[in-house]
Structure 1
């Protein structure tokens, strides 16, 4: 089939690349000429400047020029495309509603082209982006307004986890297709023939509105689960003595009805979906006159989680951030991606700067260029001049009085010895991801250790630890994550 993917970001590029693996002729379109030029090289370092996903550059390179094509001109491919996917950024507005400006601009532009195509064969317009419930109907009205003939609209939401987008596209747990007519369902069955009647993958056909709602419900339920563990499980272990966080998790999730996913407490969930989608759902339900109390609580817990370790450091460790230099390890919202959208690190930086830190020394294995270019740019805010970027975690830690771990990169698990050989106590380690299983080595050497989901451990020489304190330390010990966010 001839497929057109409109938008080549974290959703559009993996979707286009994997569709091309199955032999479809895929044309990926974007108005960003620099981005398209980077993809057309087929070079990993160029592709990863924009989308960093394991295995993605190889898929692009293998299919480039055979089944996969990139363009900034949609005019020609609009004439004979069969299925058009909208993979367009839909950012949140201040009131939580969805900014559909880019989406509607693209829809009107495409409608104008489709209305003028000489062939009137059936086309299906598919929303892959997360869009408010009812958007498929708005898309239908736009097409009719421009005089487009013989078309159908559909919703086919993506459920990709960043850092696993290629494998998630190849082997999804479900494919949800919302359409109106048997003809459109048949076209999309042909497109997704490898998934129809699959023994493991659920292929669901429903209405466009139901498909749109499934995406919002799924992301909101996942964030609810994460917020429950952060807002209840972590608080228990932080407030009451002798509660072992990992044992608590194992004991609760041993019930087959309770998922282990999301039970790993952290400094909050980020990324392009969770926060945006729950805010949009709150807005949509408010507009319909329905209660959103539970959604507001879930969102509030997650936002509070992103900076509360700093508040704990002030009130429990009596740490004064004013004129201190702090190392920040991890800028991406989670490991295996360079995506910083809604990352906890953004809030950490804002909070540290508001507390008067002298400098922030930052390091992330993948997100450094993104941070320099898009987020912590001195041209946006002169306070960002206090941020410096470093090539290794050790280099970032040098000359600091405190450390904040914000992302669950595996390389951070071995930091205890690096900390000891780089900086001397008094020193505060704030572990937002429970990444230091050998934290006791630090505490014994005099470093203060403050983990999410655990009590503050004051540094002291190892021979000064009484049995009761040893018990308290064990109760708060972080262990390797069974399932990171």
Structure 2
């Protein structure tokens, strides 16, 4: 089966490599010629465990190709996926200009039947806009070429994307024709053979499923952060509360960890977009509005604790940061708590010394040399008045506290992910603050 994927960002590249691994012939298309030339050589523009090996394996096998021109490869394909970005507009709505540009290009060049599948996260109703755009271009050309539009939202977790794709909880596909359903069933046959669930539904429901799923997970995170903040006020321990409620099978244990806020490319953007979709339809999603407010407040909670620890005077204090990425196993800093914390620290007159296993270059790209960067977690602690843990990378879980203490000017640790043990910290003479205790 020949398929093309437009967009070689996180979703497009992972999807392309994984489809190629199942035996499909995949052409990944991107207008960025420098990126495409690098990909042809196996140079990956993002950090995702195992992706570079998978890409190179399938390039060498001849199943994974790259191009800068969709028109050049369009009529060789049975399916074209759109995996281009849908960044939020100022009003929170998803910007569809890249998605619709792909649709326009397809309409301008299509000569035979094609299934156009949206993998980008798009609001409900986008499939109709894609269909209308393609049809309008076909009409301009005076041709009547059949095509179908479908929705196949992605549910990949950064840091675990290949496993998520190859062994999914479910595959959601929205279709409105038997022909498209049959072609997509053939594409996903390797997953059906392994008894993974492929759930077919109407297109609007598939589009809504993606937003509803991410918004539910964001809601659980903000709910637990709200509970954690109350736990601190009433003398409860949120970790014990989490164990107590997570053992209820109706609730479960996942996404109940308190912390210093969620970030990334999905949750913040998708919550905003779903709120805007509701407003456009005359409805207010009050729960999600609260989820968003709680998360924005939570990103500043470690700074508030630091401010209190120094009685409101942070000028000329040195603060070490462990973790810059929004989560472990990625270099992605989109909407990361670190960006909020860094701004607050710099505005307060602090010197910031940061270490992250993967995201240092990304942080340099975003904020430049406003902070100091280190290639070792202990080096970042030299003469620090406080350490803030923002990302729960594995290498941070069991540090040598004697070494940490010798490097720091004041033994103050603010744990934004609750990965350290308070008794252990006390034994080593640290003043320790976490979330929800």
Q: Hey, what's the Cα distance between the residues in 1 that align with 2:380 and 2:103?
A: 46
Q: In the alignment, is the contact (CA less than 8 A) between 1:420 and 1:442 conserved in 2?
A: no
Contact 1:197/1:203, CA 8 A, preserved across alignment: no
Which position in structure 1 is the counterpart of 2:145? 149
The match for 2:10 is 10
* Matching residue of 1:369: 361
Rounded Cα–Cα distance in structure 2 between residues aligned with 1:32 and 1:370: 19
Q: Which residue of 1 aligns with 2:418?
A: 434
Tell me whether 1:53 sits opposite 2:48 in the alignment: yes
**How many Å apart are 1:418 and its aligned residue?**
3.1
What is aligned with 1:410?
Answer: 394
* Structure 1 position 19, deviation (Å): 0.2
Q: Is the 8 A contact 2:29 2:70 kept in 1?
A: yes
Instruction: Give the structure 1 partner of residue 68 of structure 2.
Output: 72
Query: Match of 2:28?
Result: 28
User: Following the alignment from structure 2 to structure 1, what is the Cα–Cα distance between the partners of residues 213 and 384?
Assistant: 41
Pair 1:133-2:124 in alignment? yes
Question: Where do 5+ consecutive residues of structure 1 fail to align?
Answer: 378-384, 455-485
Partner of 1:238: 232
The alpha-carbon distance between structure 1 residues 325 and 316, as it changes in their structure 2 partners (threshold 3 A), is closer
CA distance in 1, matches of 2:318, 2:305: 18
Indicate the SS of the match to 1:334: coil
- In structure 1, which of residues 388, 391, 399 is the aligned counterpart of residue 383 of structure 2? 399
Describe how 1:83-232 pairs up with structure 2 within 5 A.
Answer: 83-114=79-110, 117=111, 120=112, 122-147=113-138, 149-196=145-192, 198-199=194-195, 201-232=196-227
- The Cα of 1:245 is off from its aligned counterpart by 2.9
- Give yes or no for contact 2:402–2:428 (8 Å, CA) kept in 1: no
1: distance between equivalents of 2:157 and 2:370?
33
Classify 1:98/1:248 alpha carbon distance in 2 versus 1 (closer, same or farther; 3 Å): same
Cα contact 2:87–2:94 (8 A) shared by 1: yes
Q: Displacement, 1:333?
A: 0.6
Distance 1:191 1:161 in 2: 22
Q: CA deviation at 1:443?
A: 3.3
What's 2:404 paired with? 419
Larger deviation: 63-72 or 18-27? 63-72
Q: TM-score scaled to structure 1, two decimals? A: 0.86
2-side partners of 1:74 and 1:393: how far apart? 44
Offset from partner CA, 1:76-128 (integer Å, 9 cap, x none): 211221100000111111211111222222222232122xx3xx2x2100000
The answer as to whether partners of 2:260 and 2:417 remain within 8 angstroms in 1 is yes
Mapping of residues 186-335 of structure 1, within 5 Å: 186-196=182-192, 198-199=194-195, 201-232=196-227, 234-241=228-235, 243-315=236-308, 318=311, 320-335=313-328
Task: Name the structure 2 match of 1:443.
Answer: 426
Report the RMSD for the aligned CA atoms in angstroms: 1.6
TM-score normalised to the size of structure 2? 0.95
Aligned partner of residue 393 in structure 1, secondary structure: coil
Task: Name the SS of the counterpart of 2:372 in structure 1.
Answer: strand
Provide the secondary structure at the position in 2 that maps to 1:157: coil
Q: Unaligned regions of 5+ residues in structure 2, if any?
A: 139-143
1:435 deviation in Å? 2.3
Separation in 2, partners of 1:238, 1:228:
15
**What is the CA-CA distance between 1:282 and the residue it aligns to?**
0.5
Task: Tell me, yes or no, if the aligned pair for 2:166 and 2:191 is still in contact at 8 Å.
Answer: no
1:370-385 matches, cutoff 5 A = 370-373=362-365, 375-377=366-368, 385=369
In 2, the alpha carbon distance for the partners of 1:239 and 1:283 equals 34
CA distance in 1 between counterparts of 2:403 and 2:424 reads 11
Query: Which secondary structure does the structure 2 equivalent of 1:176 belong to?
Result: strand
By how many angstroms is 1:441 displaced?
4.4
Q: Please give the per-residue CA displacement for 1:156-192, whole angstroms capped at 9, x wherever unaligned.
A: 0001111011011101111111011101100100111
Measure how far apart 1:214 and its partner are.
0.4
Q: Which residue of 2 aligns with 1:468?
A: none
8 Å CA contact 1:3, 1:82 repeated in 2: yes
Counterpart position of 1:382? none
Distance 2:338 2:284 in 1: 31
- For 1:24 and 1:294, the matched residues in 2 are separated by 42
